[in-house]
């Protein structure tokens, strides 16, 4: 198979992964579903939802944390069985979860259907999209490809939000969930068929014209977790993702003082910034390095958090608020392309699915902890000022830790450096040779 044909195949895998994430990004549209449930509770009557208003966010909160931790099992599945089976399973779970909740108004059923079943499915689908795309391209394009694939998840609410509003208005909440469920099974499972790993003889880092690559390293999850660098990066991810999710979860409420009923537009515009941040940061990190890109992102986000204090809730210009939300969304999005790229660079591709699944738990824990903290501070002070101040300080700490990473030596590399044969094994999960088993992966 020619290099040109394989390269084109790589782009089809990248497009399929982006398409899967465009569907799975329905998670960011929970606020619309929540509004419909609240309306039903307040209206009452036969067939209405009968939930405690304080529990409206529970299915979403459960979905986020299940999504994050399902990434570990999904990563193992992706590494062992390949991306196609993993994405297919994820699409079925998400679809079945939505079909289940379309048949009931029960609180526990929505927590299990949307929170657990769909959350697990999103984890499996998301986990399967990036690894195969990265394997088709040289390391010089790692950031760009990762950014393109994950941009779908950030951009999803731009079209899912108005689509959800249309379906709710014309078909009702239950029928809308049923249509989403059927669509997810068809779209995600269909696109999963295009997710394939490169052939055994494909060497992305040896395409003519590229510089000689650095030695390939492949850490097992247990080896990665023995590294202090892993825990530092996990904490930095916790800060970067948590600060962004804190604002994303409350931005519509923050915008009401300035924009009234048009506040939902800020959510859509922030989604565009979110997606753009993933692509631009990925591309930039290929040019100036991951550490420099991450440091700039964290410091820029800190400045925005401090700038938000005099802007939010003061009736400031809608344009200023939109710009602020867009850039906060942009910086949040950079996390989702930089950290998978960093994980691949430091610990290799062979166990990338599992390794990044473990790293991704920082996203779930960060969103949960920072969200709860933000609500506590809001309840105690009556404003978001303390939340922004706390997030800004944490982001500066994260940037300082990122600078410290430069001076630390990569730990245990000599124990896991692989030869040419094992590099091929890293690109094809079915090939499991060791450095001593030379020739075992030859086609």
146: CATH: 1.20.1250.20
| 124 and 236 inside one domain | no
Looking at the domain assignment, is residue 4 inside a domain? no
- In this structure, the answer to whether residues 141 and 229 fall within a common structural domain is no
Query: Does residue 211 fall inside a structural domain?
Result: no
pLDDT for position 431: 43
43 and 226 in contact (C-beta within 8 Å)? Answer: no
User: Domain check: are 317 and 173 in the same one?
Assistant: no
Same domain for 119 and 190, yes or no, is yes
Q: Is 235 exposed, middle or buried (0-12, 13-18, 19+ CB in 10 A)?
A: middle
Cβ pair 110, 103 in contact under 8 A = no
**Same domain, residue pair 311 and 267:** yes
How many residues would you count in the chain?
443
* Same domain for 317 and 189: no
pLDDT, residue 121, reads 96
State both tokens at 326: 């867009």
Question: Tell me: the pLDDT tens digits for 162-181?
Answer: 888 889 989 999 999 999 99
- Residue at 266 is within a domain: yes
In a shared domain, residues 188 and 264: no
- Nearest alpha carbon to residue 281 among 363, 323, 224, 340: 340
Q: Are residues 138 and 231 in the same domain?
A: no
Task: Let me know if residue 183 belongs to a domain.
Answer: yes
Question: In this structure, what DSSP letter does residue 28 have?
Answer: G
Intervals of the chain under pLDDT 50: 1, 206-213, 409-443
Q: Round to whole Å and give the CA distance between 139 and 134.
A: 8
* Residues 177 and 114 reside in one and the same domain: yes
Give the relative orientation of helices 251-259 and 228-248 as an angle to the nearest 10 degrees. 30
Domain boundary among 197, 230, 251: 197
Contacts of 434 (CB under 8 A, 6+ apart): 422
Shared domain check, 231 and 179: no
- Are 124 and 93 in contact by the 8 Å Cβ rule? The answer is yes
Residue 316 lies in a domain: yes
Are 358 and 221 in contact by the 8 Å Cβ rule? The answer is yes
Rounded to an integer, what distance in angstroms lies between the CA atom of residue 217 and that of residue 412?
10
- Based on the fold, state whether residues 140 and 224 are members of the same structural domain: no
pLDDT at 204: 62
Any domain includes 440: no
Q: Give the Cα separation of 104 and 126 in Å (integer).
A: 27
What is the token pair recorded at 182? 């059927």
Q: How many helices (H) and strands (E) does the chain have?
A: 18, 0
- Tell me: do 65 and 125 sit in the same domain: yes
Number of domains the chain contains: 2
pLDDT at 343: 93
How far is Cα 238 from Cα 69, in angstroms, rounded to an integer?
14
Residues 133, 185, 27, CA angle at the centre, nearest 5°?
75
Q: Tally the C-alpha atoms within 13 A of residue 8's C-alpha that lie toward its C-beta.
A: 4
In angstroms, the CA 8 to CA 10 distance is 5
Q: Would you list the DSSP string of 384-395?
A: SHHHHHHHHHHH
d(CA 443, CA 439): 9
Q: Is residue 214 part of a domain?
A: no
Q: Spell 326-347 as b/e; 16+ CB within 10 A means b.
A: bbbbbbbbbbbbbbbbbbbbbb
Considering 197, 231, 256, which residue would you say is the last residue of a domain?
A: 197
Q: What contacts 175, CB < 8 A, 6 or more positions away?
A: 102, 167
Q: What is the pLDDT of residue 179?
A: 95
- The answer to whether 294 and 374 have CB atoms below 8 angstroms apart is no
Burial class (CB in 10 A: 0-12, 13-18, 19+), 172: middle
Domain stop point among 166, 197, 228: 197
Strand partners, 217: 417
In a domain, 424, yes or no: no
Residues 6+ apart with CB under 8 A from 195: 13, 16, 17, 20, 82, 83, 84, 87, 128, 129, 132
Host domain of residue 279: 220-417
């Amino acid at each position: 198979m020619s290099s040109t044909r394989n390269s084109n195949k790589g782009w089809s895998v990248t497009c399929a992964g982006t398409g899967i994430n465009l569907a799975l990004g329905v998670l960011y549209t929970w606020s619309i579903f929540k509004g419909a449930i609240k309306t039903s509770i307040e209206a009452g009557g036969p067939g209405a939802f009968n939930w405690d208003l304080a529990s409206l966010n529970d299915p979403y909160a459960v979905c986020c944390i299940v999504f994050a931790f399902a990434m570990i099992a999904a990563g193992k599945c992706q590494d062992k069985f390949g991306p196609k089976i993993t994405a297919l399973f994820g699409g079925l779970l998400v679809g079945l979860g939505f079909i289940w909740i379309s048949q009931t108004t029960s609180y526990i059923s929505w927590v299990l259907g949307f929170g657990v079943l769909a959350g697990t499915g999103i984890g499996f689908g998301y986990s399967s999209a990036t690894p195969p795309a990265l394997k088709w391209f040289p390391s010089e394009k790692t950031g760009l490809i990762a950014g393109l694939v994950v941009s779908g998840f950030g951009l999803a609410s731009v079209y899912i939000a108005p689509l959800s509003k249309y379906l709710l208005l014309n078909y009702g909440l239950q029928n809308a969930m049923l249509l989403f469920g059927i669509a997810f099974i068809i779209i995600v499972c269909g696109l999963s068929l295009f997710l394939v790993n490169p052939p055994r003889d494909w060497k992305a880092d040896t395409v003519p014209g590229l510089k000689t690559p650095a030695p390939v390293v492949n850490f097992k999850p247990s080896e990665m977790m023995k590294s202090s660098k892993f825990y530092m990066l996990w904490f930095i991810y916790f800060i970067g993702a948590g600060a962004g999710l804190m604002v994303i979860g409350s931005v519509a409420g923050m915008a009401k003082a300035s924009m009234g009923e048009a506040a939902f537009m800020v959510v859509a515009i922030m989604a565009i910034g979110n997606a753009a941040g993933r692509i631009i940061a990925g591309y930039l990190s290929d040019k100036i390095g991951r550490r420099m890109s991450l440091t700039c992102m964290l410091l820029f986000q800190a400045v925005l958090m401090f700038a938000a204090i005099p802007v939010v809730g003061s009736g400031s210009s809608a344009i200023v608020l939109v710009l602020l939300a867009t850039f906060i969304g942009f910086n949040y999005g950079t996390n989702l392309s930089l950290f998978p790229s960093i994980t691949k660079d430091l610990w290799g591709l062979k166990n990338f699915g599992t390794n990044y699944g473990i790293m991704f738990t920082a996203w779930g824990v960060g969103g949960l902890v920072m969200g709860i903290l933000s609500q506590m501070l809001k309840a105690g002070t009556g404003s978001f000022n303390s939340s922004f101040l706390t997030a800004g300080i944490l982001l500066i700490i994260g940037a300082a830790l990122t600078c410290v990473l430069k001076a630390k030596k990569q730990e245990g590399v000599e124990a896991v450096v692989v030869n040419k044969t094992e590099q091929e094994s890293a690109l094809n999960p079915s090939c499991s040779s060791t450095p001593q088993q030379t020739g075992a992966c030859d086609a």
